[in-house]
Amino acid sequence: MNNKQSDKNSSADNVDEYLQTLGSEDARELRYYSQEQPFSSDEMTRLINEERLNKLLAQSDEFLSSLNGEIKDFDDEY
Alpha carbons 45 and 71: distance in angstroms, whole number: 37
Instruction: Specify whether 7 is located in the same domain as 30.
Output: yes
Contact call for residues 22 and 28 (beta carbons, < 8 A):
yes
- Give domain status of residue 74, yes or no: yes
- Give domain status of residue 4, yes or no: yes
- Kindly report, residue by residue over 15-68, the tens digit of the pLDDT: 777 777 766 777 667 766 666 667 788 888 888 889 999 999 999 999 999 999
Q: How many residues does the chain have?
A: 78
Residue 23 is predicted with a pLDDT of 67
Residue 51 is predicted with a pLDDT of 92
Instruction: Specify whether 32 is located in the same domain as 56.
Output: no
Show Cβ contacts of residue 46 under 8 Å, excluding neighbours closer than 6 positions.
Answer: none
SS3 35: coil
Residue 59 is predicted with a pLDDT of 95
| Rg of the chain in Å (alpha carbons) | 26
Instruction: Specify whether 28 is located in the same domain as 57.
Output: no
Domain hosting residue 29, numbered range: 1-36
More confident residue, 64 or 73: 64
